[in-house]
Structures are given as structure tokens and as C-alpha cells.
Amino acid sequence: MTTISWWLYTIPFISAFIHWLTIWMALKLLFHPRQPKKFLGFTLHGVFPKRQQQIAESLGRIVGQELLSYQDIEQTIANPANVQKMLPLVEEHIDNFLRNKLKESMPMIAMFIGDKTISQLKDIFMKELAELFPIIMKNYVSHLKNDLDLEKIVVDKIANFSSDRLEAMLNQILTKEFRFVEVIGAALGFLIGVVQIMLTFLMH
């Protein structure tokens, strides 16, 4: 009876190990084997290597339609607040043009332009540009939409990743989550083992 009782107390630890090992193997099977392999009549192939193209297409669709749409890009670029951030740099270039480059290109005209005239011209240019920039940006994004397929870029990038690189990326992102799942599995196995001991004692 003493021997039987001793073995009963090992059940939670054995159960915890089996559950941890099962989850560890399941996580490994997400990436391995890289290539299809026959085993006992079954074909084993890692989930991600096997479905890499479908995963790439799904992620591309999500990025292109949900996460990063051209409408979002247009709203961000044409946002008046963002336009205002660019204006100081533009004003600096206009000022440099009126004071220096204009003299080099058209010295006769520059002779009749003083500081007051330069300031007036600069103010006029800046008002026009502040109104023109959002229109230019919207037109640019409109043309960009025809030339740049975000969904296709994401699909091509992910589909062409090597299995090693894809695994490294996902492990880098999900390492803590994978470890958490393994720990939870082991803890659940331990609890199941404890319940088994309690039921065994109750039955006797």
C-alpha cells in the first residue's frame, strides 16, 4: 500500500510533464518539419511552411484593407496639422530663393526687390502653398494608389520569407506567449493529476 501511495504522488508531476511536452511538440509542429515528411503513413508538414502562401495572402488583405488603407494615408498626409509642420522648411527655401538664388538668376529684377518686397512675396507664396499642399497630396496619393499595391507587396514579402526567417520573426514576437502556453499546460496537467489522486482515494 505504501508503494502504491508513493506512485500516486508522482501522478501530478507525470501529468504536468506530459501536458507540457504535448504543447511543446504542438508549438514545434507550427514550424517543423520544413518539408513534408512521411511518418507511419501520415504526412507531417509544419503549419506555417505548409500554409505560408495562404497566410501571406490573409495578412496582405488585412494590411491592405484594414490596417493601412490609402484613405488613411491620404488623411494623414493631407491633414492641415501635418501640412503646417512642412511650411517652415518651405518658407526657409523660399526666403533663400528670393534673397540669394533670384539675384544669381535674374540680377536686374533682384535689384528692385528689397526686404519689404521679399517679405510680401514670401507671405503670398506661403498662403498659396498652404492651400495648395493638401490638394497636391491628395492627387499624389490618388496616383500612388494605381502604382503601388500595398496588399501585393505584403503578400510577396511574406511569401518569399524563408521558413527560418519566418520562425525567427514569430518567435521574436510570441516567445513570451509560447512560454505562457507551455506553463499553463503544465499547471493544468498538474491539477488534473491532483484530481486523479483525490478520486483514487475517494474510490478506496
Query: What pLDDT does residue 22 have?
Result: 92
Cα angle 41-19-17, degrees, rounded to a multiple of 5: 110
pLDDT tens digits in sequence order for the chain, 204 residues long: 444 566 777 888 999 999 999 999 988 888 888 888 887 778 888 888 888 888 888 888 877 777 666 677 777 777 777 777 888 888 888 888 888 887 777 877 777 778 888 888 888 988 888 888 888 877 877 777 777 777 778 788 888 877 788 778 877 888 888 889 999 999 999 999 888 888 877 776
Query: What pLDDT does residue 4 have?
Result: 54
Show the cell assigned to 138: 491628395
Partners of 43 in beta bridges: 38
Query: What pLDDT does residue 166 have?
Result: 78
Domain count, the chain: 1
Query: What pLDDT does residue 136 have?
Result: 82
Question: H/E element holding 44?
Answer: strand 42-44
Show the cell assigned to 111: 535689384
pTM of the model: 0.54
Query: What pLDDT does residue 14 have?
Result: 92
Query: What pLDDT does residue 188 have?
Result: 93
> Residue 3, Cβ neighbours under 10 Å: how many?
7
Query: What pLDDT does residue 134 have?
Result: 80
Q: How far apart are CA 47 and CA 28, in angstroms?
A: 10
Q: Which domain holds residue 48?
A: 2-203
Integer angstrom CA distances of residue 148 from 64, 70, 73, 139: 11, 10, 12, 14
φ/ψ of residue 43, rounded to 5: -100, 120
